[in-house]
Structure 1
Amino acid sequence: MPRFAFAGRCSTEDLQDPETSRNWQLTRARALIEPAGGEIVAEYFDAGHSRALPWKRRPQAAALLTALRDPHRGFDAVVIGEPQRTFYGNQFGNTFPLFTHFNVPLWVPEIGGPIDPDNEAHDLVMSVFGGMSKGERNRVKIRVRTAMGSQAKIEGRFLGGRPPYGYRLADAGPHPNPAKAADGKRLHRLEPDPQAAPIVVRIFTEYLRGTGLYAIAEGLTRDNIPCPSAHDRARNPHRDGRAWSKNTVRAILTNPRYTGHEVWNKQRKQEILLDIDDVTLGHRTQQTWNTPEQWIWSAKPVHEPLISKTTFTHAQARRHDRRQHHPAERSPRTTPRTYALRGLIRCSLCDRKMQGTFNHGHPHYRCRYPYEYAKSSPLDHPLTVYIREAVILPELDRWIAQAFAPGQLKTTLQTMQRSQRATTTALPGLEAARRTIADCDR
């Protein structure tokens, strides 16, 4: 009896749950091999991974490729239930040679059995399915983006996300899609937040009078006005809520939604090659800012404005003039230098992550809280706090050696397990949050 490994995939883009997707792909695979006496003895099913990811970057698909190299792999052939879910673009051409090399037949329903590596028709059919898979994904992206653009421009619909500081969400009636309305989904709109809306007006007013970003932040902090992360602490537990920052003031001044218009397409997802010398590794997705000319504005105001469009235009003109006379600060950039504790060191005064920096040829970690945030009376923070990496590493190594010593290893592992369990227990909404994130991905 031939032994088969089943390979399949579904992602959050699929409007069905992973178990349903796995079951129908598995059903198709069994319908193909059972008349030949085949039996599935192993499964390699990737859930939550885009088809655009190459096989080497999907956990289960990569495990299958590794298993092909094992002469004691436990299966004689591989069966796929749906080639459009498994292969994308030219992935078949980059993957099938491995099956041929290790003499493992690959069965596909559309072929009616195993793929013949010497059959041009088989190769053509699989290449077509890869192209169809890529075309399907691209068509979905185009339809979704076009639909969202028209909803923003023509209908002025709120398209989701966190309301900007100064607004809060209000109910806007049932969803226009009957199926979604029956499921209880409703539309939302923005309405002014009684506490935060006047602060937005104050920021624009002071800025147009000539006050700088840092001076505005200092004035708001001095007047004990909660910054956005402190105003909505439940949704911003990861941010510092002690004082206003220049970046926060800048973000408010550049947000066109305060004019009452819905504005969409300020950012886009851009796919960038992981390795220009090996395109088979695929892409990574990166959020990129669009230019103001690419933003899509609603044809008319759709929620109560906090400022006029003229005020917003004047604020942007002043920012442009300041950039002309005062070059903008350099944006963060990647560095070829390595930091052993990158992203792990926090300032004990403000609890912010410290930045890696090289001084006199040695790696340091620094915190420049006052450079970005206004001075806050409860926090006495020096202008810059430095610590040398060479001071931390020996102490850290000694602590790790003690915690994972043979006589202490069991206690350490039990403590780590209890800590993980406590973290999971402390987040009762974790699963709901994950479902919400998956909905946003869709």
Structure 2
Amino acid sequence: MFRQRLAGQSVASIARHLNERGVPCPSSADPDRNRHRTRGAWTLRTVAVILANPRYTGRQTWNRRTTDTSSPASTPALSAKAAHLALVTEQDFIDAQQIRAARPASDGRARWFALAGLIHCGVCDRRLDSHWNHGRATYRCRHGYNSTQCAGQSRPKTLYVHEDELVDQVHSRLGDQVDGSAKLKPDQTRSKRIATALRDSGQFIVYDSAGWRLQEIDSS
């Protein structure tokens, strides 16, 4: 899956390829551990969750399924050291988070999302999806809604934020801290510099309609 994603394939094409090959999906291969999944085939959500799971880098993770946003323990946590054999390198995992296979841009270049995986919804605690909108890198959260479901009236309004606007705000507040990091490369764009600084410091952005804040990953 990671090789296909890094080669530019969409999540949909990866799921379709798995179904065409007859590869059992998690709910079919291990139903006892996947009772929350009821489908008998690979779905967009299943593939996306696997590609976003840092456990494949060899690190142990906690609190990935909780929906209790009122507790600090609801934040996903990673072990400081590898806990088991890695299936993908950490760099490949990071690169996979920044890829969105879509229609080619008009100039033929790939679309990159520097903050992919680093923004969590302040309403439902999900990671915001990368979304290209009117020529701009954008992140959104539909709070679990997808095109196979009917949109319930009680569902919160979809959350949107443009990468450039969020980067301006973060840099305005943390510019000296970001620019002063010794690990940053001088030729990096400001978006990538902020993403690198956040990963190095073990922080991520929590965003909602009221604004944003930084939160540290709980590694205890």
Q: Same fold (TM over 0.5)?
A: no
Of structures 1 and 2, the one scoring higher in RCO (CA 8 A, sep 6+) is 2
- Give the alignment's TM-score, normalised by structure 1: 0.24
Q: Which structure carries more helix by proportion? A: 1
Larger radius of gyration: 1
- Give the alignment's TM-score, normalised by structure 2: 0.44
